[in-house]
Amino acid sequence: MQESVDFDEDSIIATSAKNFVYLATIGKYEANLKKFGYEDYPLLVADTVVTSQNKILRKAKCIDDARNILLTQSGNITSIITCMIYQSKSMKIVDISTTEYFFDTFDLNDVERYLNSGDWQGKAGACMVEGFCKRYIKSVKGHESTAMGLNVEILKRFILNK
């Protein structure tokens, strides 16, 4: 069963992207425990943050914000950092993983078409690497699953070897 509890990420004050994603994940974990409690079923909570040029790139609040976020990533290295907490009856895992993408320079007409589509809404860093950004990826360092919101390679290693 998949269910989620809202958590106010805007209340987080963090000194770094890793600190931010850790605090957001802990907040979501605690909110889920408070709402659902914990019994014998596994609990998995994860959150992701995007950073480029030493800036935490949150979810864009408007189209101009989305444009600025995209242009920050254009032609630069973008890090996608995911934190997960997995708890079962027999174990608890806390992991922070990073995947880095080096992007080619975004075509400005392509950026405007993408912005007008509205697909940037609700997405950290205003895009997804499997969507708009895919054609601009020059190189990748890390697991693609981390960039999609959960490092399944780490999770599988623990769950399959328990």
Short-list 150, 135, 126, CA closest to 51: 126
How far is residue 53's CA from residue 65's CA, in Å, rounded to a whole number? Answer: 16
Q: Tell me, what's the pLDDT at 4? A: 64
CATH of domain 9-160: 3.90.950.10
Question: Across residues 9-25, what is the average pLDDT?
Answer: 88
pTM: 0.85
Higher per-residue pLDDT: 7 or 72: 72
Domain ranges, ordered by start, for the chain:
9-160
Q: Tell me, what's the pLDDT at 1? A: 53
Short-list 51, 69, 50, CA closest to 61: 69
Q: Tell me, what's the pLDDT at 9? A: 77
Average pLDDT, the chain: 89
Is 47 part of the annotated catalytic residue set?
yes
**CB crowding 130-152: b at 16 or more within 10 Å, else e:** eebbeebeeeeebbebbbbebbe
Say if residues 6 and 31 touch (Cβ distance below 8 Å).
yes
Q: Which of 10, 40, 47, 104 is catalytic?
A: 47
Q: Is 136 helix (H, G, I), strand (E, B) or coil?
A: helix
Higher per-residue pLDDT: 148 or 10: 148
- Give residue 116's pLDDT band: very low, low, confident or very high (50, 70, 90): very high
pLDDT tens by residue, 69-110: 999 999 999 999 999 999 888 888 999 999 999 999 999 999
Q: Tell me, what's the pLDDT at 162? A: 56
Say if residues 79 and 98 touch (Cβ distance below 8 Å).
yes
pLDDT tens by residue, 26-65: 999 988 888 877 666 788 899 999 999 999 998 899 999 9
